[in-house]
Amino acid sequence: MNEPFLMSAVQADTAAPDAAHDQSADQPFPTLGYTNRLSEIQRRWLLLASSRGFGPVKLALAAELILGRTCESSLFSTRDKQVSSLTAVEQARVRRCMSGVEPAQPAAAELIAVVIQWLESAADHSLMTLLDDDYPPLLKQLKDPPAVLYLKGRRDLLAYPQIAIVGSRRASRQGMHVAKSFARELSANGLTITSGLAQGIDTAAHQGCTETRTVAVLGCGTDMFYPPANRPLQVAIANNGLLVSEFPPGTQPAPHHFPKRNRIIAGLCLGTLVVEAGVRSGSLHTAMSALELGREVMAIPGSIYSTESRGCHSLIKQGAALVETATDIVQRLHGTLETYRQLNGLAIDPASGVTDDMAALSSPAQQGPAKVVLDALSAPKDLDELVANTGLGVSELMQALLSLELDDLVIQEGGRYQRAEFELK
């Protein structure tokens, strides 16, 4: 942090009681009760973030001014160099807020009180600002990065490489299966799965890795449950993964919140996978945000007769990578993933490529009799055909089929078994 800002902040923090009493009329922060969960620097940043005329773009410039460096990663360089600098008046406002001499307006004081109460209500609640050392470098590359993130769950997950899986709310059974299985396999390869907790594809993506790690970015406060049907899933993610929002606690969902949420999803991730999407889908907004950042965009093709495949086909026509397996994605991201891990000091298991401290179990379909059965189902087959093709005994075969059905990898219709991804809508 720049020395002038640091010195003024320290001086304000350690001011004599008499001096604080003398400026009671202009006290920067009303008496809200001391908390170890919100630092004085974070309080002052919230005051600046609440200032009229300071939106995400200007707050990003303010952070650069305060920190004395540009908010960029050395891995990617996509920040708009043409963005205007702060005016002299705006710089003065930044200095007043961060030095602790700017009086808090009622709205700012109310926000700070709400944030303190929220932070103290649960041990897994935390606040992240653009000034924090662990703010995700990739997210800073947005021209309008969120100035404040409200987190519930494992804050450390934001340090690990993420991939977004997004798609239609009106997903087909096949699309749900694909999203879930891709999430499971990508998670097993060391990637954190990030999505928006919407119904359909987002839900399936989170479900595929809830027991390992997943990040859900919300279009409301982290204390709101939206959509209501996903309340159990949201609770599970908070317990094992992470909920992220730029909206303060108590903020209800609203239509204009979701494009903002989508840009965060794209900004956090090395790449975005679209499973199913209509031509006007919000998932395409996420994909476009990823493209603007120079990130990898991938899409899974579908039936030419499905309206929920047209968005994916449109992306492919515009240059998005057509992928058919999770391996395709891992291979496309390999170079970027290795660079990311090296820059962030993440340990790598040379044999598997999975970070040592976040290795996940492989899908049952990747090992033993279940893999043999899955490989044999290049077309629908009955039990006799599977016995002949796999060489497995009937008992072992039935156990493998049951396991695959429970994992939504195989379905049975009319006494014949087939891989779920082959099911026609």
Q: Convert the pLDDT of each residue in 264-288 to its tens digit.
A: 999 999 999 999 998 888 899 999 9
- Whether the pLDDT of residue 18 is over 70: the answer is no
Task: Give the pLDDT mean for 178-201.
Answer: 94
- Whether the pLDDT of residue 337 is over 90: the answer is no
**Average model confidence (pLDDT) for the chain?**
82
Query: What does each C-alpha distance from 239 to 43, 155, 253, 265, 277 come to in angstroms?
Result: 27, 12, 22, 20, 29
Q: What is the predicted pLDDT for the residue at 423?
A: 45
- Whether the pLDDT of residue 248 is over 90: the answer is yes
Q: What is the pLDDT of residues 79-125, one digit of tens each?
A: 444 445 888 999 999 999 988 888 888 888 899 999 999 999 999 99
Lowest mean pLDDT among 142-156, 195-209, 306-320, 377-391: 377-391
When pLDDT is cut at 50, 70 and 90, the band that residue 349 belongs to is very low
224 Cβ neighbours under 8 A, 6+ residues apart: 218, 250, 251, 252, 253
Q: What is the predicted pLDDT for the residue at 292?
A: 92
When pLDDT is cut at 50, 70 and 90, the band that residue 375 belongs to is confident
Task: Give the pLDDT mean for 387-404.
Answer: 86
Lowest mean pLDDT among 48-57, 216-225, 357-366: 357-366
- Whether the pLDDT of residue 344 is over 90: the answer is no
